[in-house]
Each structure stands twice: as structure tokens, then as C-alpha cells.
């Protein structure tokens, strides 16, 4: 059920991405949910106990560690509660499934500080209610799941009525849509149906490179070189040959099934022209023989994983030695950043460790945990610097019971810088936490980026590829030229209380525009100083901070 749920979500993740309401390039809900649930499936497959409670527990653990973005964290909480709801069950029945859904909803709502209706939470809640209602009639698990799925569809259609921004843009909630696809897959899995009819869409799921990275990331550090059963990471790309496929029609599911007999960590994606394979095997030649039945080899990459892991283990041992030998310190601050210039800014203010990430590239819970474990401090502060990463950071902090880990909920780079300006190593942890939280409110945040689609939000008409300026997340300007949009955005954030405007130029910034803005601010606002930094951040041509 869970694997099929992940499968169906994978097939539709790009569509879920496209449902994000803002026309900025932040459409990553489907990708985040897909990476999260596939982490759960991966962990689930490590378990040997096939009782429902054990399977759900493994699945839940994988979701927790792989959670990315708000949607991923909420998804992990839904199935964390789901697993708790059946922790004493060897198998499902209708009432157990309804109870699991309800427990998942309760857990997810408790995890969210300010639940918003019209989101994935509403869809999950309505589905759980329908499941409970059906379970009172009889104990048929298929009927209960069918009713939950039907109500999830109806609930998803209602999300624009609950969340005005969805209605304004004309879409349903992306997280709710992702959950609906998971439920669809669970139903198919329960009924023993194959979701292979969507196989042609698999090439549109999160990229092969991303999935391969996830596969390798899971293996690293868990296995000693001598314990690796399949020693060669084999990646092959084949161009389909019409003559070969005419004699031997390609069926992806059957092909995947044959390859799975020879190794693990198998990933197969295909479209009309190409077939891509990733697998860990002991005899790579077997994979090539199978692949060549359908076409021509155009790219082959084979790595000896035993040698790689021996080198990795040696490196990890050296890092661990260095970490344990490092003097215990009072504080460590970990910030999420994108762009070497932005990272340098935070380093200058005392941040010592970083998790790479930001818009469209949300880090996982596990990445935070790894960064925290590398510190040797009594108190650790996490600065997520993105609203979609705060919950992931909080989830990572909750994992540590014997270490003081606190999240300063910064939702932008300027807020993160504001928090760090307030940080003082000489103060105690409570005073620092209070000051850093107050520091968030001392700055205004703005950004300038490109729109990815036509839309109207907040009365501002936006055309695809136009520039647009956002202040505190609200779109305030849009135009065809970067210079004019940048000026209007700065105007929208400067008032009589502002004394300093910090301009962080991204990798797509224009040097002339930067100079024009500085001159314009100097001319129009004589009491405002301008400070310019080369942030080299992607996606955002400019980040502005006013204080």
C-alpha cells in the first residue's frame, strides 16, 4: 500500500509542483512529498517483520528522517500518527485503518503551530472522518479506504473555498493533491492492482540524479565495505532501437522485475526514446545484457562501491576523530543558505555550520540531524531562513533529547541576519534565544525574482518571465525590466523608520541595476544608508533587507 502510494505520487509529482500558488519558482511540493515518502518506502523495505504495525513503524521512521519542506513534514506526521494508531495490530481491518487515519490527523494538527484550513490538513481530516463513518457501518477495509479516498477528492475540491489565495489563482491545494495521489496508490496496493499504467509518466518524476543521490545517501555510513552484498553501482542509459523493440517489446514493469533479481537500489525510468537504469549488482554485465535487448548503450558508469565505502569510512573516521577532539563550546549556530556570498555573510556574524538549501531545494530532517551531530556545543541554534524549512528544522530539533537544540524561526535571509546581529556569545542561552527572536522583527525582507507563469495575485497582474518584487512574501511590484521592479520594491519597504538598506545581489543580478538602485536610494532617501553584498544566491536576482 505504502509503496504504491509513493509510486502514484511519483508519477504526478510535477503536476503537484505546478499547483503551488505563487508564480515564483517555488513549486516543489510534489518533489518534497515524493522524496519524503520514498525515504519511508526505502526504510520500510529494510524491515523483515511483515506485521502491519512493524511495516508502518519502519515507513514512519523513514518519512521522519527524509521529511523536506512543510508538506513533507506534515506528511511524515500524518504517517507517524498512522503508525502509532496501529502499533498493536498484526494486520489491517476497516476499523484499524480508520483509527490510524484519525490518529495521523491528530498528530499532524498537533505538530503545526497554526493549522491552516484548505491545505493537506483539511483533506486528511475530512478523509479520516469519512473513514470513521464508514467503519461504523462495517469492518471492510477496502470500503473504508474507498470512502476515505472519495471524501479526500471532495475535500480537495473545497480547498479553494477555504483558502482565498487558491481561489484567486484558480487551483486546488498542492499538498492536498499530493495526499490524494498517495491514497489512490494505497487503494491500488490494497487491491493488488498495478499502477504500471502510469509508467510512461515515470520519467517526469523527480530526476534520476536526485533519486540516485537518495539511494546512495541512505547506504552511506550504514554498511561496512565487507558487508556490501552487491559491489558495483551500475548506471546505464540506452537509446531504444525500433528493430529490437519490434521483436522484443519493452515492458518497464517486467524489465524492472527481472533486474530486481540481480541486485538492489534499483531505479528504472524511461520515455519513448531512452531507458535509464541505476542498480547495485555484483555482475554489471548482466544488466548490460538485459538492456541491450532493447537498444544501444549510449552511457555506462560502473563504480566499485566497496572501494568507495572503504574511502568513505576512513574519511568519516577522521571527521569523527576531529569532532570528538574539538573543544566543547557553549554555542553553535547552523544556518540554511544558498550562495557562497550569503554563506560568507553569516560566517562573518558567527555561524559556524551550514545546511545547503532554500527555495526549491528544501533540506531533509536527516540533513539537519547530521549537521547538529557534527557540532560539539552545549546549545545549538538552527536558523532555517525559509518559511518552508522551519517545520523541518523543528522536527530535527525534537529528535534530540539530551542536547539543547532551538529553532529561531527565520523565514528569510534578512531575518536570519537580523537574528545573528542579536546573537551574543557572552549572554546565556535564554537571553540569546529571546534576543534572536526579537531580531527577526527588526528587519523587513524583500526579494526580486522572475515569474514562471501568468497570474494575478493581490491585484498585481503578473506575466510569465516578468520581474516581480515581494516584500514580506507579498507581491508589491511587477514589470518587464529588472531596474524598475527593483526600484519599486525598495520604495515599498522604505519608510521613515528605515536607516539602512542592505542589497544582496544574486548570481543573476545586474551590476548596473545595483549601482542605479544605490544612487536612487541615496537621492530619494537622504537618511538611508545603502550597503551592497555579492550574495551569489540562485533564483533571486536580489534580496533586500531594510532596518
Q: 181-190, 260-269, 358-367, 421-430 — which is least confidently predicted?
A: 260-269
**Residue at a domain's end among 393, 413, 442:** 442
pLDDT at 203: 35
Domain that holds residue 438: 326-442
- Looking at residue 213, its pLDDT comes to 57
| Window from 5-19, 309-323, 326-340, 367-381 with minimum mean pLDDT | 309-323
Query: Which stretch of 40-44, 191-195, 270-274, 536-540 has the lowest confidence by average pLDDT?
Result: 270-274
Yes or no: say if 281 and 234 are a contact pair by the CB < 8 Å rule.
yes
Range of weakest confidence among 304-318, 444-458, 492-506: 304-318
Is 319 inside a domain boundary?
Answer: no
CATH number at residue 273: 3.30.70.980
Q: What digits encode the pLDDT tens for the residues 277-308?
A: 888 889 999 999 999 999 988 788 888 888 87
The more confidently predicted of residues 173 and 268 is 173
Residues 294 and 379 in one domain: no
The string of pLDDT tens digits covering residues 237-253 is 888 898 999 988 988 87
**Are 61 and 178 contained in the same domain?**
yes
Whether residue 201 is contained in a domain is answered as no
Whether the predicted pLDDT of 28 surpasses 50: yes
Q: Are 174 and 71 in contact (CB under 8 A)?
A: yes
Q: What is the CATH number for 61?
A: 1.25.40.340
Same domain, 270 and 351: no
Q: Please count the structural domains in the chain.
A: 4
List of residues 6+ apart from 225 with CB closer than 8 A: 306, 307, 309, 310, 313
The band of 196, judged by pLDDT with boundaries at 50, 70 and 90, is: low
Could you tell me what percentage of the chain is helix, strand and coil, using 3-state DSSP and rounding each to the nearest 5? 55, 20, 25
Q: Comparing 394 with 15, which gets the higher pLDDT? A: 394
pLDDT at residue number 85? 92
With respect to residue 317, please indicate whether it lies within any of the assigned structural domains.
no
Measured distance CA(423)–CA(459) in Å, rounded: 39
Would you state the pLDDT for residue 208?
62
Reduce the secondary structure of 221-257 to three states and give it as a string.
CCCCHHHCCCCEEEEEEEEECHHHHHHCCCCHHHHHH
Regarding whether 426 and 479 lie in a shared domain, the answer is: no
Query: What does the pLDDT read at residue 26?
Result: 60
Quote the pLDDT of residue 218: 45
My answer on whether 353 and 252 are in the same domain is no
Domain boundary among 419, 442, 465: 442
Q: Do the bridges between strand 444-450 and strand 542-546 make them parallel or antiparallel, or are there none, so unpaired?
A: antiparallel
Same domain membership, residue 294 and residue 181 = no
Q: Decide if 513 is inside a domain.
A: yes
Domain harbouring 460, CATH code:
3.30.1180
Cell, residue 366: 536527516
For residues 320 and 120, which has the higher predicted lDDT (pLDDT)? 120
Element (H, E) at 304: strand 295-304
In this prediction, residue 231 carries a pLDDT of 86
Query: pLDDT confidence of 202, banded at 50, 70, 90?
Result: very low
As a three-state string, the secondary structure of 108-175 is HHHHCCCCCCCCHHHHHHHHHHHHHHHHHHCCCHHHHHHHHHHHHHHHHHHHHHHCHHHHHHCCCCHH
Share of the chain above pLDDT 90, in %: 57
Q: CA-CA distances (angstroms) from residue 100 to 66, 121, 186?
A: 21, 15, 14
pLDDT of residue 210 exceeding 80, the answer is no
| Residues 414, 384 within the same domain | yes
Give the pLDDT score at 197. Answer: 47
Same domain, 179 and 190: yes
pLDDT at 260 over 70: yes
Q: Which of 330-344, 450-464, 503-517 has the lowest mean pLDDT?
A: 450-464
- The CATH number of residue 369's host domain is 3.40.50.510
pLDDT at 454: 79
- Is 480 within a domain? yes
- pLDDT tens sequence across 499-515: 999 999 999 999 999 99
* Nearest C-alpha neighbor of 75 from the set 41, 48, 49: 41
Query: Does residue 38 lie within any of the structural domains?
Result: yes
Give a yes or no: residue 473 inside a domain: yes
- Give per-residue pLDDT as tens, 369-428: 999 999 989 999 999 999 999 999 999 999 898 899 999 999 999 999 999 999 999 999
Query: 242 and 362: one domain?
Result: no
User: Domain check: are 388 and 428 in the same one?
Assistant: yes
Residue 369 lies in a domain: yes
C-alpha cell at 174: 498542492
349 & 435 share domain: yes
Looking at 442, 457, 484, the residue that finishes a domain is: 442
Say whether both 270 and 339 belong to one domain. Answer: no
| pLDDT at position 46 | 87
Average the pLDDT over 108-127 and give the result: 91
Tens of pLDDT, residue by residue over 345-359, are: 999 999 989 999 888
Task: Quick: pLDDT tens for 458-481.
Answer: 778 888 889 999 999 888 999 999
Average pLDDT in the chain: 87
Q: What percent of the chain has pLDDT over 70?
A: 90
Amino acid at each position: 500500500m505504502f509503496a504504491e502510494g509513493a509510486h502514484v505520487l511519483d508519477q504526478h509529482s510535477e503536476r503537484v509542483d505546478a499547483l503551488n500558488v505563487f508564480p515564483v519558482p517555488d513549486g516543489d511540493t510534489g518533489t518534497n512529498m515524493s522524496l519524503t515518502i520514498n525515504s519511508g518506502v526505502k526504510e520500510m523495505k529494510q524491515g523483515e517483520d511483515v506485521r502491519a504495525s512493524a511495516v508502518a513503524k519502519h515507513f514512519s521512521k523513514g518519512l521522519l528522517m527524509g521529511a523536506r519542506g512543510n508538506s513533507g513534514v506534515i506528511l511524515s506526521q500524518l504517517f507517524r500518527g498512522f503508525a502509532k494508531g496501529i502499533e498493536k495490530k498484526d494486520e489491517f481491518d476497516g476499523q484499524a485503518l480508520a483509527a490510524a487515519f484519525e490518529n495521523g490527523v491528530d498528530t499532524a494538527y498537533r505538530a503545526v503551530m497554526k493549522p491552516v484550513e484548505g491545505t493537506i490538513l483539511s483533506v486528511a481530516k475530512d478523509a479520516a472522518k469519512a473513514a470513521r463513518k464508514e467503519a461504523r457501518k462495517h469492518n471492510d477495509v477496502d470500503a473504508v479506504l474507498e470512502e476515505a479516498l472519495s471524501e479526500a477528492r471532495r475535500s480537495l475540491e473545497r480547498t479553494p473555498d477555504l483558502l482565498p489565495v487558491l481561489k484567486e489563482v484558480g487551483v486546488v491545494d498542492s499538498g492536498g493533491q499530493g495526499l490524494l495521489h498517495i491514497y489512490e496508490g494505497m487503494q491500488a496496493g490494497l487491491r493488488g492492482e498495478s499502477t504500471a499504467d502510469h509508467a510512461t509518466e515515470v520519467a517526469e518524476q523527480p530526476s534520476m540524479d536526485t533519486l540516485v543521490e537518495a539511494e546512495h545517501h541512505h547506504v552511506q555510513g550504514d554498511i561496512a565495505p565487507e558487508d556490501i552484498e552487491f559491489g558495483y553501482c551500475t548506471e546505464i542509459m540506452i537509446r531504444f532501437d525500433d528493430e529490437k523493440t519490434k521483436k522484443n517489446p519493452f515492458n518497464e514493469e517486467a524489465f524492472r522485475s527481472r533486474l530486481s533479481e540481480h541486485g538492489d537500489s534499483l531505479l528504472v525510468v524511461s520515455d519513448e526514446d531512452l531507458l535509464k537504469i541505476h542498480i547495485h549488482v555484483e555482475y554489471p554485465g548482466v544488466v548490460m545484457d538485459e538492456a541491450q535487448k532493447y537498444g544501444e548503450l549510449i552511457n555506462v558508469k560502473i563504480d566499485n562501491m566497496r572501494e568507495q565505502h572503504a574511502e568513505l569510512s576512513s574519511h568519516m573516521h577522521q571527521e569523527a576523530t576531529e569532532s570528538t577532539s574539538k573543544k566543547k563550546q557553549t554555542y553553535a549556530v547552523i544556518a540554511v543558505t544558498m550562495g557562497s556570498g550569503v554563506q560568507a555573510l553569516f560566517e562573518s556574524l558567527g555561524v559556524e555550520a551550514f545546511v545547503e538549501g532554500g527555495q526549491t531545494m528544501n533540506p531533509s530532517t536527516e540533513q539537519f540531524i547530521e549537521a547538529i551531530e557534527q557540532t560539539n556545543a552545549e546549545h545549538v541554534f538552527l536558523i532555517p531562513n525559509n518559511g518552508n524549512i522551519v517545520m523541518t528544522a523543528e522536527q530535527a530539533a525534537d529528535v534530540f533529547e539530551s542536547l539543547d537544540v532551538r529553532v529561531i524561526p527565520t523565514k528569510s535571509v534578512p531575518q536570519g541576519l537580523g537574528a545573528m546581529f542579536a546573537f551574543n556569545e557572552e549572554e546565556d542561552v535564554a537571553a540569546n534565544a529571546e534576543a534572536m527572536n526579537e531580531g527577526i522583527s527588526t528587519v523587513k525582507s524583500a526579494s526580486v525574482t522572475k515569474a514562471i507563469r501568468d497570474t494575478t495575485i493581490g491585484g498585481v497582474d503578473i506575466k510569465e518571465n516578468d520581474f516581480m518584487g515581494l516584500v514580506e512574501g507579498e507581491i508589491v511590484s511587477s514589470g518587464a525590466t529588472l531596474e524598475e521592479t527593483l526600484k519599486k520594491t525598495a520604495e515599498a519597504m522604505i519608510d521613515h523608520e528605515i536607516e539602512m538598506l542592505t542589497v544582496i545581489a544574486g548570481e543573476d543580478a545586474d551590476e548596473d541595476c545595483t549601482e542605479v538602485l544605490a544612487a536612487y536610494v541615496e537621492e530619494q532617501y537622504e537618511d538611508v544608508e545603502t550597503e551592497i553584498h555579492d550574495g551569489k544566491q540562485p533564483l533571486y536576482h536580489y534580496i533586500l533587507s531594510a532596518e
